[in-house]
Structure 1
């Protein structure tokens, strides 16, 4: 079971009788679906529906929560959450020295299991990806292996795959992986997200990119027929992630136009967990 230490992480710790209700009314995931011992993706949005901060959310005990986020964004995240606290009975503290490890099965057999840590629900259950906190584990894998795992399973993270304030939840498939509770009621930015969902107006989607040769560096444009499709995010050899204009990608697919990452011909595919397919003219929902 490979284990890697993930640097550049911090956490917000919330506790108190109003912690759950505050989070339920502010952030994107539905806390009623968050079980003990699991970590689920989430975000705090702007009123315009753009992702300001993304994180992994988990329960830490009676009424307590950890929001595992990027260290560089943690102080601003803490300040923003303090603004929303108002008179709620919630303690919000910043855990800056947050030692984070991730472990996973080296294959999908699931023959070995580890009940420690928090099950990362962004990945297939058979892979048994877990998040661990504290310095008790010994890392025996490289961070690059973790990023390759994210690429393989279509898991985007801010900083590597998009900039804060530059993506909607639908762009990074939060409507597909439980990162946004579309039926839970109000949260910051909910009106925009709900309208986008019900009108089917999401034109950008996270896709997996596979090159005929090694992909160029992150930030390299994707194009087809001279039209921009998106920009490479995380790159791992011949595979990578990108948030892509699926309407243009579908049109290129229908017309038989090659898709290029810089000068490297690539194929685009939808992550296995997502319920849509690429078609001529765009993306069609299948579930």
Structure 2
């Protein structure tokens, strides 16, 4: 199984502060920074000037600074990308090496704690910080824990298989394996539906091409959830063909249920079950 990277110790948290930090981020991220406050986390992305995926992360706002949680393997690239736009050298970034993340699928979080936090999307405790994953209110809770403290014995954290099954069920892509750095377009990968985009905020890096795909109908693919009904699922990023034409590309999977990038014209033909040239049959769920 391919690990779900925004889980356990596979992410890093960075602290970003500086002069006019809010305006700075508003110009380089896909979501609206005005939607972020001390009570609500934000999920967003950074794109190339051509509108191609570079980074995605979860943001929290605190007094005079932001905290960003991103895939650990891309932290150095993310820091460089942020600093690239810091022309006046007003932005300061610190990697929070003493904090790590654990997660619990929403339905598995104990009822006593759920009752304690109520409808709060961010809950601060002396031992940890808990936030609901902003990509979907039905997904999971994230716990930011100081490594100097003992493991939180009162919680049973979710394992990789549980997280993967729920992630794929909700059509949430794993950006580290499903998307291709500086090549993928995020609208193809369901980013609009997992709350990472604002089409009302004005300009940001990569906005022009993203808006063109949205409003001029140039988006050719979309991320779909499929079930393999016969045969063996293709490997990650293997292209899928039907009657000699490429109709999609396989993405992450969990058993027989997978995420797949599928041409929109294939979906628009009301085709629900397809037997491919790759010798497997799938159903679009």
User: What range is the shorter-chain TM-score in?
Assistant: 0.7 to 0.9
Correspondence for 2:53 among 51, 76, 88? 51
* 1:112–1:250 CA distance, 2 compared to 1 (3 A): farther
Q: Secondary structure at the match of 2:193?
A: helix
Q: Post-superposition shift, 1:259?
A: 4.5
Runs of 4+ in 1 over 6 A off after TM superposition: 107-112
Please give the alpha-carbon distance, in whole angstroms, between the structure 2 residues aligned to 1:260 and 1:95: 47
* 1:257–1:146 CA distance, 2 compared to 1 (3 A): closer
Q: Post-superposition shift, 1:261?
A: 8.8
Which consecutive residues of structure 1, in runs of 5 or more, have no partner in the other structure? Answer: 270-287
Correspondence for 1:227 among 230, 240, 245? 245
Partner of 1:267: 283
Q: Post-superposition shift, 1:58?
A: 2.1
Please give the alpha-carbon distance, in whole angstroms, between the structure 1 residues aligned to 2:246 and 2:142: 36
Q: Secondary structure at the match of 1:106?
A: helix
1:110-121 equivalences in 2 (<5 Å): 113=114, 115=117, 116=123, 117-121=130-134
Output one character per residue of 1:226-262: Cα deviation in whole Å (capped at 9) or x when no partner.
32222222110111112222123434x45x8724494
Partner of 2:3: none
Output one character per residue of 1:147-171: Cα deviation in whole Å (capped at 9) or x when no partner.
1111010101222212111211211
Q: TM-score, normalised by structure 2?
A: 0.81
* 1:241 partnered with 2:272: no
Q: Contact 1:10/1:69 (CA < 8 Å) preserved in 2? A: yes
Say what the alpha-carbon RMSD is for the aligned residues. 2.8
Please give the alpha-carbon distance, in whole angstroms, between the structure 2 residues aligned to 1:73 and 1:64: 21
Q: Contact 1:210/1:266 (CA < 8 Å) preserved in 2? A: yes
Please give the alpha-carbon distance, in whole angstroms, between the structure 2 residues aligned to 1:240 and 1:44: 26
Q: Contact 2:229/2:281 (CA < 8 Å) preserved in 1? A: yes
Q: Post-superposition shift, 1:69?
A: 1.3
Partner of 1:26: 28
Correspondence for 2:208 among 168, 183, 191? 191
Q: Post-superposition shift, 1:74?
A: 0.9
Output one character per residue of 1:129-187: Cα deviation in whole Å (capped at 9) or x when no partner.
21111245355432121111110101012222121112112111222332111110111
